[in-house]
Amino acid sequence: MNDWVLGAVLVLSVVTLVAVAVLLVRDQPAGDAMFVLLAVVELVLLVQVVVGVVQLTSTERDVPGVLFVSYLVGVALALPIGAFWSLAERTRAGTAVLAAAAFTVMALEVRLWGIWVDAGA
């Protein structure tokens, strides 16, 4: 796992959570700017999928491949699912779904890192 990509995903997820919190306090639905931010995070997540699979194939670590790739794909699917749900539900609850999706990304990233580090021990 690349530390820079992991850090970028975590920082962008925190920025997303803060932006969603502002929208929730203002009682506004997610707008174009929020979806652009989500697209940027998703782009970094897709880079992480590619980098993660490449590193998995070239590592000496005893990483459980199916589990690792499942987490890579799962974390990449969390934001699009949340975004579509938010678009379908244009209320405060729909905006809150984006917060849940961003938090899910952060939680899955921590678990993904744990899988990678545990395999090296």
pLDDT tens-digit readout, 61-80: 888 999 999 999 999 999 99
- pLDDT value at residue 71: 96
Task: State how far Cα 103 lies from the chain centre.
Answer: 8
Place of tokens 């969603």: 20
- The number of distinct structural domains making up the chain is 1
Average pLDDT of the chain?
Answer: 93
Domain range for 61: 3-120
What pLDDT band is residue 121 in, cutting at 50, 70 and 90?
low
Q: Do 47 and 114 touch, CB atoms closer than 8 A?
A: no
Q: Do 94 and 87 touch, CB atoms closer than 8 A?
A: yes
